[in-house]
Structure 1
Amino acid sequence: MPERSKTVHDVIVVGARCAGATVAMLLARRGYRVICVDQALFPKDAVSTHMLRQSGLARLRDWGLLDRLKATGCTPIHSITMSYADAHFSGFSDPIDGIAETYAPRRFVLDALLQDAAREAGVDLREGVTVTDLVRDGEFVTGIVGRDRDGEPVTEHARLVIGADGYASTVAQLTGAQKYDVIPGETFTAYSYWSGLTMQSQLRIGDKQAVGGWPTHDGKTLIWCVQYVDRFAPFRADVEGNFALAFKETAPDLAELLDTGEREERFYIARYPENFYRESHGPGWALVGDAGYHKDPFTGLGISDAFTYADLLAERVHEGLSAARPLDEALAEYQAQRDRSSKPMYRFTCDSSRLVLPDKHVEVMRALPGSATHTQQWFRMMAGGLSGREFFAEDNLASLLNPQGGR
């Protein structure tokens, strides 16, 4: 079979999940000719926290997709219970970007929703296409080379190739994109889905492990545990027993709750890769999503960040392709803006994922049940709507830690 035509498209996006389908959709809505390819055949699940924070939901609303998500029957989340050592409290953030709840959709539902929206915008979305190389004109990337689901060769050309193909990105490897600000991953997760439970979001941190869960689709609840990688091998020797033990040790009340429900699916186990940023632009190429910036899923910000920076990249690509400014300059600004805005939560996430909180954090958590205002602020910070610097400012915490003295 001959290769596909030599038509030069505006953009090729490699990867059709949260970041890839989104940036493809946004560019197609601006009138660009976009191909989006993925080696998977959908619907296909993905290892994920499932969590969509308010910032991500606000973008779905602005793109006209939030009502579609709500119509899928995903249970809204409006309460979080958290514990660490002897600190135990519940609450929720005040509205962020006008959104007063969160959702944790199954990925085969969310990804399909985004892919449908991309196709509706005019994206040529092709499943089962594996990229094996890039087309180059000198130092410039000008397309992709690969094979389709039948093993037939595929070659496509474009003014820009965007890698949205995950933390092990093929596009990143082929361009030689270097990592920086790397922080090793220290934990792994195991999770499954229970029926028969009625619970909102739970996050319980114990001795070098954490457990929790939140509702998702079809009346099911995602139940998970996280432990250090040195426990990975013994954990796998008895997944069900060690999973139950983690709950008994960390949150006995949740362990009792799980006994009232029924596990509906197998356990999913994944070691978390390192945290990093990557060089995310070069001659004729860019990276978005986990391909360009990956952090531990502990704070559940990955999907929302994928939306945020896909949106930002689409804006900068439009500036470059429309000749409003040089494309390389626009892409460089995209990376710089992404790094500046994401760095505080990157640091907070990496620190929190070690499951050993600073003494100051513990002191604050013990005091939170006495202040609804500060509890709300805490969860706003966890959702990325308030910086740690603002929350932990001495003036802000004075009335919490010294209620008799006031501010």
Structure 2
Amino acid sequence: MPESRQHFDAQNFDAIIVGARVAGTAAAIFLARQHRRVLLIDKASFPSDTISTHIVLSGGARVLGQLGVLEMLEQSGAVRFSRMRSIGPDFDYRGDLVHDGLDERGLCLSRIIMDAKMIEAARSFESIQFRDRLRVTDLIIENRAIAGIRAEDSTDRHEFRAPLTIGADGMRSTIARRGEEKLGAFPRIDVPCARAYYYAYFDGVDESRLGDELVTEFESSPGAGNLVCRCEQGRIVAATAFDAVELHSFRIDLEGNLRRYLDRSFAVGRILEGATLAGKVFSSGLLSNTCRDPAAAGALLLGDAGLHVDPLFGQGHSLALMSAAIVGDLAPQWFDASRGETIPAIALAEFTRRRDAELMPFYKASVRVSRELALDKGTRMAHRAAASEQWAADEMIRFAQMLTPRGSFPSFRFARLMAKASRAA
């Protein structure tokens, strides 16, 4: 045996998933339901927190329903928000997510609980082997394809092989970086976010001021944005977004500045009046919207590894879950065609096509808003149109909640209403 392989123990799986948070656990469950043998690993130990939005929009909640984990998450404290409200300098509208016999609620839950519960759900499948505190060190490359990973833990080095390797390991993905270095795979496009973000938990907000509603605000001051929603244990999670050039001065007094920035809002400051800060203030720092080509021979990228989006709209969870659902749909044909060999890039290209068709409209809408501090004219006209008619508010909120089928927003009548709002302006 070559010297470089002496300390490796080889194991074979149908799929290796690197990253055991929302995207990775969802993909693992979809594959396990198809009786695939899955290795699910993460370099972290669990339960553990991570900087992230807490919001699962309605499109992502649908996937959680398909996975059969919604009830478990609710029992763990997740709040299902049944209304959404959007506020700006010249618009204020809301819409229901429970209507006409449909339950399209999203949910809000901290990552430390959500990730732990998703791992618990994944581990209930005998065909999923879960290992934490296992760090990927390299990819196995054979015939210009990714055939598995090399990894290490506190005791040894290991080698794992599979026809499909999934990188669900975040915006600084090791799978993406190694694939790019070794194969020129996963090319990326970055669009810097114009804003920085901070969030914290608050206690003492009565339900008369905030019930089961997600509230988003835009331009309460130049470039600012805010988000507030109820989460577990009766707490509120509140986030503020502001011009990234203010980041250094904001850090001088985190608690004081968070309060000041939230207080200059249209409604969030009043909601939080008298509330007590619970714990520390969290920051996402300076971010970019990042889109990678997610497919290479033998490998896919999911979640933030493939699409990392400005957190202003809380889309991250839902993009991850909806991408994992596409894997679940397509995986049977991949494995049937591979016959145990590495799945070729031409087969995995259908994942890219489906992801881009179904999810890129939402991603591009966020990029359009996040790269500039002021809302562009089209976005502002859309919000104003939504504020003028309830049916338009419902359309806008369905799009914001990632419920709109591809190509159906804006509808013809919504576009006419936007044109009317533009003429009135």
Same fold (TM over 0.5): yes
Q: 2:332 aligns with which of 304, 310, 318?
A: 318
Q: Secondary structure at the match of 2:14?
A: strand
Q: 1:298 aligns with which of 302, 312, 325?
A: 312
**Counterparts in 2 of 1:195-274, with a 5 A limit?**
195-197=203-205, 198=207, 199=210, 200-206=213-219, 207-251=222-266, 253-274=267-288
In structure 2, do the counterparts of structure 1 residues 97 and 3 end up closer, same or farther at CA, with 3 Å as the change threshold?
A: farther
Q: Secondary structure at the match of 1:49?
A: coil
Q: Which amino acid aligns with 1:124?
A: Q
In structure 2, do the counterparts of structure 1 residues 212 and 160 end up closer, same or farther at CA, with 3 Å as the change threshold?
A: closer
How far, CA to CA, are the matches of 1:180 and 1:235 in structure 2?
Answer: 31
Aligned to 1:118: 122
Structure 1 residue 76: Cα displacement:
2.0
How far, CA to CA, are the matches of 1:5 and 1:256 in structure 2?
Answer: 59
Greater CA drift, 386-395 or 303-312: 386-395
Q: Is 1:352 the counterpart of 2:360 in the alignment? A: no
Q: Is 1:396 the counterpart of 2:414 in the alignment? A: yes
Q: For residues 160-187 of structure 1, what are the alpha-carbon distances to aligned partners after superposition, in whole Å with 9 as ceiling and x for unaligned? A: 2111101110011111134344322222
**Counterparts in 2 of 1:38-187, with a 5 A limit?**
38-93=42-97, 98-122=102-126, 123-148=128-153, 150-176=154-180, 177-187=185-195
Structure 1 residue 368: Cα displacement:
4.2
Q: For residues 290-345 of structure 1, what are the alpha-carbon distances to aligned partners after superposition, in whole Å with 9 as ceiling and x for unaligned? A: 11122112222211111111121233333121228964332111112111222211
Aligned to 1:384: 402
How far, CA to CA, are the matches of 1:327 and 1:303 in structure 2?
Answer: 28
In structure 2, do the counterparts of structure 1 residues 74 and 256 end up closer, same or farther at CA, with 3 Å as the change threshold?
A: same
Indicate if the aligned counterparts of 2:135 and 2:152 stay in contact, CA closer than 8 A: yes
Q: Secondary structure at the match of 1:265?
A: strand
Indicate if the aligned counterparts of 2:385 and 2:414 stay in contact, CA closer than 8 A: no
Structure 1 residue 126: Cα displacement:
0.2
Indicate if the aligned counterparts of 1:133 and 1:145 stay in contact, CA closer than 8 A: yes
Q: Which amino acid aligns with 1:75?
A: V
Q: Secondary structure at the match of 2:193?
A: coil
Aligned to 2:350: 333
Q: Secondary structure at the match of 1:135?
A: strand
Percent of paired sites with the same residue: 25
Greater CA drift, 352-361 or 155-164: 352-361
In structure 2, do the counterparts of structure 1 residues 402 and 5 end up closer, same or farther at CA, with 3 Å as the change threshold?
A: closer
Cα RMSD over matched residues? 2.5
Matched residue count: 400
In structure 2, do the counterparts of structure 1 residues 143 and 324 end up closer, same or farther at CA, with 3 Å as the change threshold?
A: closer
Q: Which amino acid aligns with 1:191?
A: Y
Structure 1 residue 360: Cα displacement:
4.4
How far, CA to CA, are the matches of 1:223 and 1:53 in structure 2?
Answer: 16
How far, CA to CA, are the matches of 1:4 and 1:18 in structure 2?
Answer: 29
Q: Which amino acid aligns with 1:185?
A: C
Indicate if the aligned counterparts of 1:55 and 1:96 stay in contact, CA closer than 8 A: no
Indicate if the aligned counterparts of 1:195 and 1:261 stay in contact, CA closer than 8 A: yes
How far, CA to CA, are the matches of 1:96 and 1:146 in structure 2?
Answer: 51
Structure 1 residue 352: Cα displacement:
2.3
Q: Which amino acid aligns with 1:342?
A: L
Structure 1 residue 5: Cα displacement:
3.7
Q: Secondary structure at the match of 2:107?
A: coil
In structure 2, do the counterparts of structure 1 residues 398 and 287 end up closer, same or farther at CA, with 3 Å as the change threshold?
A: closer
Gaps of at least 5 residues in structure 2 are 1-5
Aligned to 2:3: none
Structure 1 residue 7: Cα displacement:
3.0
Q: Which amino acid aligns with 1:132?
A: T
In structure 2, do the counterparts of structure 1 residues 37 and 237 end up closer, same or farther at CA, with 3 Å as the change threshold?
A: same
Q: Is 1:372 the counterpart of 2:390 in the alignment? A: yes
How far, CA to CA, are the matches of 2:347 and 2:99 in structure 1?
Answer: 32
Indicate if the aligned counterparts of 1:10 and 1:33 stay in contact, CA closer than 8 A: yes
How far, CA to CA, are the matches of 1:213 and 1:88 in structure 2?
Answer: 15
Could you tell me the TM-score, scaled by structure 2's length? 0.86
